[in-house]
Amino acid sequence: MVFADDHSGNEYLAWVGSIMLLVHAGIHFNAVLPWAATLMLLIAVASGLVGKYLLKKANESLKGKRQLFLDSGMSDEEADKSLFFDSITVDLMKKWRLAHMPITLVLGILVLLHIISIIIYN
């Protein structure tokens, strides 16, 4: 399978895994584990989507503001000074993966433990 970039494979697998988990969990109102797995899945998906789209919008906004400043006659240095705090904010937002990766790792470990327990006890 060939993906356009590194992230499209990640997104494809995330969507497929999410759908598989939702189908597998079913709707069991009296069971806690399917709801816990679904909640963990929603947290992982939300952190991934929010991080991806917010970071994309922030980068576009920063580039747009910089271009507006340059078009209005500001020098590169003046534009960079005016956008200093915006640049710091975008740089901090790039670290969203520090939160997303552990969440996804926990979900992956729980999935593996579930599969192993099925193999052992079935």
- Structurally, the chain folds into a number of domains equal to 1
Q: For residue 78, give both structure tokens.
A: 């003046």
Amino acid identity, residue 39?
L
Q: Give the model's pLDDT for residue 7.
A: 63
Residues spanned by the domain of 85:
6-121
Within a domain: residue 1? no
Q: What angle do CA 1, 53, 23 make, to 5 degrees?
A: 55
Long-range contacts of 44-47 (CB under 8 A, 24+ apart): 44/14, 44/100, 44/103, 44/104, 44/107, 45/14, 45/18, 47/96, 47/99, 47/100, 47/103, 47/104
Q: Give the model's pLDDT for residue 29.
A: 65
Q: Tens-of-pLDDT digits for all 122 residues of the chain?
A: 555 555 677 778 888 888 887 787 776 667 777 788 888 888 888 888 888 888 899 999 999 999 999 999 999 999 999 999 999 999 888 888 888 889 889 888 888 888 898 899 88
Within a domain: residue 32? yes
> pTM of this prediction?
0.64
95 DSSP assignment: G
Q: Give the model's pLDDT for residue 67.
A: 94
